[in-house]
Amino acid sequence: MDVELRHLRALVAIADEGTVTAAATRLHLTQPALSRTLAQLEQRVGVRLVERSSRHLTLTPAGRTLLEHGRAILAHMDAALADTAAVSRPLRMGYNCAVLGELTVPLLRSWRQEHPHIPLELRRMDNRTAGLATREVDVAILRVLPTDPRIHAEALYLEERVAALPDDHPLAGRDAVTLAELRVETLAVCPETGTAGVELWPVELRPSRTTEVRNVDEWLTAVSAGQAIGLAAAGTRESHAHPGVRYVPVTDAPAATVYLARPAQPTHPGTDDFREAVRAVVCA
């Protein structure tokens, strides 16, 4: 039996629309052409699939059986074509402040070596899900657990917190500082992407002055100019060295969790391979 996808699409359209006329319109065919396609399908499977006793067509038991399989076959083919098209483009990885800190270069090198056929494209996205919610990326490294149910996230590891200080600040030469020592400063915060706001301080010690910035570039500029200080996860120190900024560990700030996030329905067939590559680098 030489059953083609067009035959299955014809059966699905007739079942959904109820008439040959409506099904033909949906498939952009003439009514006679669709009738011939249905007749071909019935001839090739050797059984009647559609009852034509009324103006509203109904499927026979054999027709309903083939319809169920036909829908699955067409859905599988659509998914296969989508995956094939996705393979031809890079795997897009989003981040908003930092990637994996000192593990970033090992990850990029290992991915290029082990998956040369899937380029990895890094995209900095200045929003809380680093482009996942808007499907601009396929995977993302985050330091805030996403609340969107369409996004799955798994914890990778913990990072210490660091203070970003102007290099001429009185505390910039210290090996470490405490939250209490930073409370008198103006804190630069980024509501869209930041992971370190006043909520990290005990209520009674929270800084009273903050200034908002839109992204990590503005954050670094405000700190280097002496307009504010910043608090960040250690990955920022690795990814954003900046003239005039000194990063100092904060001994009593809660650690940041680094997450690997991806859509509940993957948008690139290389997603699982990338997850394994990240886990291998983290666990090495």
- For residues 229 and 241, give the distance between their C-alpha atoms in angstroms, rounded to a whole number: 15
Strands 161-166 and 245-249: antiparallel
CATH code, 5-87: 1.10.10.10
Task: Tell me which CATH code domain 161-254 carries.
Answer: 3.40.190.10
**Which parts of 131-207 fold into alpha helices (H)?**
179-182
Give the per-residue pLDDT at 208.
85
CATH 3.40.190.10 positions along the chain are 91-158+257-283, 161-254
- Decide if pLDDT at 27 tops 80: yes
Q: Kindly state the DSSP code that residue 46 receives in the 8-state scheme.
A: T
Query: Minimal CA–CA distance to 162: which of 69, 239, 70?
Result: 239
Tell me if 142 sits within 8 A of 193, measured CB to CB: no
pLDDT in tens, 115-132: 998 999 999 998 889 999
Tell me what the mean pLDDT of segment 213-236 comes to.
Answer: 94
- Going by pLDDT thresholds of 50, 70 and 90, the confidence category of residue 85 is low
- Ranges in the chain annotated CATH 1.10.10.10: 5-87
Query: Which residues, 6 or more positions from 170, have their beta carbon under 8 angstroms from its beta carbon?
Result: none
Homologous superfamily (CATH) of 91-158+257-283 is Periplasmic binding protein-like II (3.40.190.10)
Say what percent of the chain tops pLDDT 70.
96
Report pTM. 0.69
d(CA 169, CA 257): 28
